[in-house]
């Protein structure tokens, strides 16, 4: 993917994060004009439709994204959300399980599957999956921090600030 396409995708994600749906859609459509088979962009376009409660259009986008890239776990999970929203729990469960087969430990799919089990009355299985999703999310966040030089620097500075504060407090207490 060229830098321009990466930039467009990044801008679309920023707009989605801020719930600027019109801007996100416009940016994704520009990206898809350049690269019509960009599965992640089609998936995110589905997210735009889902947030607008246009479940039919969202479902079509998620299915299109899966057709373009059957290994895209987030598209399977998003499709599961659409099915769960419509009360089609068996279909939703299949989608979440497929997402987890493609991306074991995926916190979002694990959480959504846990919610589905709780709704269906299997509280123990649901709670277990929700706890697993929480652990997975913490692990992924920790890994992300460790892999990012900027994040490591911020953490290092934070610990230095804490150490300096501790030394100052000890000094003041022992005067």
Q: Give residue 1's pLDDT.
A: 45
Q: Is the pLDDT of residue 66 over 80?
A: yes
Q: Give residue 2's pLDDT.
A: 52
Q: Tell me how far apart the alpha carbons of residues 120 and 102 are, in angstroms, rounded to a whole number.
A: 24
Q: What is the pLDDT of residues 112-166, one digit of tens each?
A: 898 888 888 888 887 878 787 788 778 777 776 667 777 777 778 888 889 889 8
* Contact of 96 with 113, CB cutoff 8 Å: yes
CATH of segment(s) 1-86 = 1.25.40.10
Average pLDDT over residues 35-45: 95
Q: Break the chain into its structural domains and give their ranges.
A: 1-86
For tokens 């030394």, the residue is 167
Q: Tell me how far apart the alpha carbons of residues 59 and 63 are, in angstroms, rounded to a whole number.
A: 6
Residue, of 26 and 120, whose pLDDT is higher:
26
Q: What is the pLDDT of residues 43-62, one digit of tens each?
A: 999 999 999 999 999 999 99
Residue 3's pLDDT band (boundaries 50, 70, 90)?
low
Q: What is the pLDDT of residues 72-105, one digit of tens each?
A: 999 999 999 999 999 999 999 999 999 999 999 8
Q: Tell me how far apart the alpha carbons of residues 28 and 10 are, in angstroms, rounded to a whole number.
A: 10
Q: Is the pLDDT of residue 172 over 80?
A: yes
Q: Which of 56, 110, 63 has the alpha carbon at shortest distance from 85?
A: 56
What global pTM score does this model have?
0.74
């Amino acid at each position: 993917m060229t830098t321009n396409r990466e930039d467009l995708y990044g801008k679309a994600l920023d707009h989605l994060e801020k719930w600027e749906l019109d801007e996100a859609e416009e940016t994704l459509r520009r990206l898809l004009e350049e690269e019509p088979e960009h599965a992640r962009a089609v998936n995110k376009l589905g997210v735009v439709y889902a947030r607008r409660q246009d479940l039919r259009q969202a479902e079509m986008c998620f299915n299109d994204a899966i057709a373009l890239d059957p290994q895209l776990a987030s598209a399977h999970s998003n499709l599961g959300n659409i099915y769960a929203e419509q009360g089609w729990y068996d279909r939703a469960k299949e989608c979440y399980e497929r997402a987890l087969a493609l991306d074991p430990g995926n916190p979002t799919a694990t959480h959504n599957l846990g919610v589905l089990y709780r709704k269906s009355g299997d509280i123990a299985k649901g709670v277990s999956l929700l706890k697993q999703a929480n652990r997975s999310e913490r692990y992924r966040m920790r890994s992300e921090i460790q892999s990012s030089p900027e994040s490591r620097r911020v953490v290092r500075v934070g610990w230095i600030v804490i150490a300096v504060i501790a030394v100052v407090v000890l000094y003041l207490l022992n005067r």
